[in-house]
Amino acid sequence: MAYVRGKRDPKSGKYRGGYADWNGKQADFTGTSKKSETLAMARRFEDEHRQIRLGYRPAPKPMDKPRDFIVSATEYLEWGRAQGGHKGRPWSPVHAAMRERHLIVFWPEKLKAKSINDISLAQVEAVARELMKAGKAGKTVQAHIESIKAFVHWAKKHHYLDSIPLEGIVPIDVTPEKSRRALTTKELELLLSAAPPDRRLTYIVAACTGYRKGELAALRVRSLDVVNSTLPLAAEFTKGKRDARQPISTALCKILKSACMGKKSNAPLLEVDFHIDRLFHRDREAAGLPRSDDDGWLVFHSLRHTYCTLIVGTGANMIEAQRLMRHSDPRLTANIYSHTQKHQLQHVAEAVGKSVIVENTALLRQQRTVDLNGADANACRDGNLDELDIEAGEGVRTLDFDLGKVALYH
């Protein structure tokens, strides 16, 4: 039965009322400073719940009551750190830290949202445009969108939202203006010479295993398998959420074994700073290497590109390269991570030219004689038959028929 308490609340100066809800349980609420108004509210609430009990109105849902944005985001982050990853595994520390920055600091401030019901598609798209105008990379903007999008999907599954407000949001183009490139062996040598010992070892392991920065940070002293010369890593720490076991050379194995002396088994194998990308650029500048050129950017992740390029350079087939890179799609290995240096292409061209031209010198000499005997002077000039020049690279490679060999003139 609807009722009003006899005295007003000393803090708010308002009456407290109550009524029987649709489940038959007592529900309290804060009314107004007038007893008659509070009683009228109690009777109205009780009547609405009576209609629900009789089936004239739908039962209330958890999402009908607005939930605080920060409280909900905190619950989402706790869920993610416990079981939000692939197949119920926890998020990686890097991923968890990024989501926390986005959902506890960035989005509440930008959206001015007090509850998760305040999230709207128009507002999120407006913030995305604002970030793009500020010069943020498409990948950065998309990462912010993915955080809020994953959050509202989680809220919908937990019945905190009746619908997904960001349904149908258009993804941001994340194609970089320039792709990352691999380091040449000379550039890698210069980088290692310029880097301090701790980062030098991190760079070496990255270039010899292809492990990403988050994966490198997850490696522990106990990870080093000296007997089999491998660096295994549990699925919870890898990007693909699959167990990894990267083979390493015996030389690197000895270096890492020496670096582990005196450390506890649970200690980090490498000192991977959170700002390793920034520190990489510092070492790159010290080594005198450009940040970018026509082939692409040099960043810390370039060491993974370098690993793939070195694998292919050893003569490994694409299946072997794909397995070592831990890619599910061989096209990613071939088209994105495997880089070919210009001098390698020229070397291939020289080998092809040798097979086609040098091995058929006599035939080409015979063909030239036939052409010269059967053509008039104008045809010779128009067809460039006076000289047989083959342009390649920086110079002109000319077939010298008198000597029957290929000579290079610069």
Residue linked to tokens 């607005």: 66
Cα-based distances in Å from 283 to 93, 122, 195, 204, 299: 25, 43, 5, 14, 11
Q: Could you count the other beta carbons within 10 Å of the beta carbon of residue 126?
A: 12
Of 301, 317, 340, which residue sits at a domain end?
A: 340
pTM for this model (two decimals): 0.56
Provide CB contacts within 8 A for 107, sequence distance 6+: 113, 127, 144, 147, 148
pLDDT digits (tens, 9 = 90+) for 77-109: 999 999 998 778 888 888 899 999 999 999 999
Termini Cα distance of the chain: 104
Q: Does residue 200 sit in the same domain as residue 128?
A: no
pLDDT over 90 percentage in the chain:
43
405 within a domain of the structure (yes/no)? yes
Instruction: Tell me the residue type at 123.
Output: Q
Spatial separation of the C-alpha atoms in residues 79 and 339, rounded to whole Å:
40
Contact predicate 89/235, CB 8 Å: yes
* pLDDT for residue 321: 82
350 is a domain residue: yes
93 and 106 co-located in one domain = yes
Residue 172 has pLDDT above 50, yes or no: yes
Q: Does one domain contain both 302 and 384?
A: no
| Sequence-separated (6 or more) residues with CB below 8 Å from residue 326 | 210, 238, 240, 242, 244
**Are residues 333 and 352 both part of a single domain?**
no
172 belongs to a structural domain: no
Residues 75 and 32 occupy one common structural domain: no
238 and 297 assigned to the same domain: yes
**What is the residue range of 200's domain?**
185-340
Q: Name residue, tokens 């959050």.
A: 151
Establish if 174 belongs to a structural domain.
no
Could you tell me what percent of the chain has a pLDDT over 70?
78
**Do residues 234 and 243 touch, judged by C-beta distance below 8 A?**
yes
Average the pLDDT over 150-165 and give the result.
91
In single-letter form, the type of residue at position 136 comes to K
CATH of the domain at 226: 1.10.443.10
Q: Is residue 162 part of a domain?
A: no
Contacts of 64 (CB under 8 A, 6+ apart): 162
Q: Is the domain of 314 the same as that of 211?
A: yes
Q: State whether 286 and 219 are in the same domain.
A: yes
Burial class (CB in 10 A: 0-12, 13-18, 19+), 38: buried
Residue with tokens 């880097």: 195
Q: Which of 340, 371, 391 is the last residue of a domain?
A: 340
Average pLDDT over all residues of the chain:
81
DSSP track, 240-291: TSS-EEEE--HHHHHHHHHHTTT--TTSBSS---TTHHHHHHHHHHHTT--S
Tens of pLDDT, residue by residue over 326-354, are 876 666 666 555 555 555 555 555 665 56
Q: Are residues 38 and 75 in the same domain?
A: no
Q: Are residues 221 and 266 in the same domain?
A: yes
Judgement on whether residues 308 and 270 belong to the same structural domain of the protein: yes
Q: Is there a domain that residue 366 lies in? A: yes
CA 130, CA 114: separation in Å to the nearest integer? 21
Residues 330, 229, single domain; the answer is yes
Dist. CA 67–CA 409, nearest whole Å:
78
Q: How many domains does the chain have?
A: 4
- Residue 170 domain-assigned? no
Residue 148 placed within a domain: yes
Q: How far apart are CA 97 and CA 77, in angstroms?
A: 9
Token output for 407: 């000579």
Residue (of 197, 210, 208, 211) closest to 253 by Cα position: 208
Q: In what order do the strands lie in the sheet with 26-30?
A: 3-4, 16-20, 26-30
Predicted confidence (pLDDT) per residue in 276-334, tens digit:
999 999 999 999 999 988 888 899 999 999 888 888 888 878 788 888 888 766 666 66
Nearest alpha carbon to residue 305 among 278, 274, 327 = 327
Residue 330 CA to residue 333 CA, distance in Å, equals: 5
